[in-house]
Amino acid sequence: MLLEGKVAVVTGSGPNIGGEICRTLAREGAKIVCVDFLDDRADVAAASVREEGGEAIGFSSDISSPEQVEDLFQRVDEEYGRVDILVNNAAVNNEAGLLDIEYEKWKWVQSVIMDGTMLCSQQAARRMVAQGEGGAIVNTASTTGHRGKAGFIAYSASKGAVLQMTRTMAIQLAPYGIRVNSITPTQTGDNRGTTPGGSTAPRAAKPKNIPLGRWGQPSDQAGAVLFLASPMSAFVTGENINVDGGLLALFPSERGLMET
């Protein structure tokens, strides 16, 4: 197994991508710490891992709080005594643009995505450095962090910051053998309402402007995370993998031709 004996902390482990990441890493032997703001979502993810024969525990934590993040990793210390992998997947959204976004909503989105990514990475990296055995951090970015999208100013800005944090952390942590990378998913076919503050509107059966002609699935994203968390990517750091069916590769003038 690729991750035998490793301990992986996965934030945002609720339905959709996060839960599938937990199960995918567990299938390769990792012990999983499922983290979510809501107790029941973390517990459901952990239970789904155990149902497949894996080992997992669920913890609730507000990752925008330095105190709660410190407490979270202390609990991980007590349970497993180490951290080898961190997946920063937690996110919230607020579908508002510059002219109408409330400052409190702006700060809320940034606190979870930007602050949460930094705080969890800091706690995990400190432990990885002390362990002296390297490690892997995988951040979840977004296509909106690469391209502007009207009405998503807080989310887009925060996800763009995640991409730059990934590069910066990768350079600083490289001497310790700790690799830091990111994935960029596009919307998956069944994620309506799974991100707090996100849209619950029905999704079209077939996507527009995705060259591969289908919505992504949680397993698509989880497979990329597994690659970046495992020895298969031992010489990869500071990189981003677009798991978007070719969306970002599509030339702007071609996008209208992909309408379905």
Amino acid at 33: V
Evaluate whether 12 touches 91 at the Cβ level (below 8 Å).
yes
Of the candidates 80, 103, 155, 176, the residue annotated as catalytic is: 155
Helix H, strand E, coil C: the string for the chain is CCCCCCEEEEECCCCCHHHHHHHHHHHCCCEEEEEECCHHHHHHHHHHHHHCCCCEEEEECCCCCHHHHHHHHHHHHHHHCCCCEEEECCCCCCCCCCCCCCHHHHHHHHHHHHHHHHHHHHHHHHHHHHHCCCEEEEEECCHHHCCCCCCCHHHHHHHHHHHHHHHHHHHHHHHHCEEEEEEEECCECCCCCCCCCCCCCCCCCCCCCCCCCCCECHHHHHHHHHHHHCHHHCCCCCCEEEECCCCCCCCHHHHHHHCC
Q: Residue 208 is encoded by which pair of tokens?
A: 């527009």
Alpha-carbon distance 239 to 64, whole Å? 25
Q: Backbone phi, then psi, for 179, in 5-degree steps?
A: -95, 140
Residue 80 catalytic? no
Catalytic residues: 155
